[in-house]
Copies of this chain bind each other. A is one copy, B any other.
């Protein structure tokens, strides 16, 4: 398997080093390649997703992605900002299905901002659509009739876009507790009305899955009130962005949440859901576990290697149960020490 490593900006490079340690420790038959992405690529080449990087991404079986985002480039034109690299990869590679699992690790009951009894019930999967919505519609600045500046973005979903993500979500629910909650804002948005109509149509193919619908405002509330009520949640690009970050706090730290972005085939991009965290970059204190768990998802989904994926996940669970904690969880272990602990647990 050909894996492209895209470390990116901020803490991306330091956490990528730890994922590589795990790959080395597992001694799997993979080929690694690297390329520049995000602010690092913009600084070197003038573009956050240079053609060479895109070509390597297209050729790879799987991409392990760190993070992009660099405040030094906040003022450059939108299409050249670091974030455009991840948006470009998602759309160029047709990575429409973003899987974001959230589960409380044993030993972290007291790390969640939620009460332990609320937090320990969390075991959910957010399936976020990643190629459409207000992210990819026409957008721009225009001048109104009265001569004012106006910013606009078109939110839209077509039938086929909703159908393919709905199938992914229903199938995921079949492999779990067979409950799917579709989140939208159909009382206000036509985009959401189409979303809801199509999800209901697709449900006919999955009589074994119990489907429910929830408005996004209520979902944001329920995710704090009683996150244990959710099994699989399927939603659009924007609502998925918000709800999955929110869910991360329920499990103690955003530094623990991995994600897979999948296309119709086996190719996928795997990344922590956290960002580049420029404020702590280079200090050696970033939590590498979301990155390492993203590698596990890569091996499972693109590599078909469930055994290695499960081995990594058990090792991470073990070190957390043993009390290993980085700064994000109120502990003092640094990035490298956490990676080393996972390696030791893999071998132990």
Contacts and interface: CB of A to CB of B under 8 A. Distances in A.
Interface of A: 69, 78, 81, 83, 87, 113-115, 118, 134-135, 137, 139-141, 144, 148-160, 185, 187-195, 216-218, 220-221, 223-226, 238-239, 241-246, 248-250, 254, 275
Contacts of A140: 190
Nearest to A188: B135
Nearest to A132: B150
25 contacts: A113-B115, A114-B114, A114-B224, A139-B190, A140-B190, A144-B158, A149-B158, A151-B191, A151-B192, A151-B194, A152-B190, A153-B154, A153-B189, A155-B155, A185-B238, A185-B241, A218-B275, A220-B220, A220-B242, A220-B243, A220-B246, A221-B248, A221-B254, A224-B246, A224-B249
A225 B192 CA distance: 29
Nearest to A155: B153
A249 B218 CA distance: 10
A190 B151 contact: yes
Contacts of A185: 238, 241
What secondary structure prevails in chain A residues at the interface with B?
Answer: helix
B153 A190 contact: yes
Given A83-B187, A87-B188, A155 B141 contact: no
A221 B275 CA distance: 13
Nearest to A223: B246
**Identical chains bound together, number:** 2
B158 A155 contact: no
A33 B232 CA distance: 47
A226 B330 CA distance: 14
Nearest to A110: B115
B189 A139 contact: yes
Contact of A115 (B69, B115, B152, B159): B115
A132 to B, nearest CB: 10
A194 B141 contact: yes
Contacts of A187: 69, 81, 83
Contacts of A81: 187
A340 to B, nearest CB: 27
A217 B241 contact: yes
A137 B138 CA distance: 14
A134 B155 contact: yes
A193 B77 CA distance: 11
Nearest to A116: B115
A69 B186 CA distance: 12
B151 A195 contact: yes
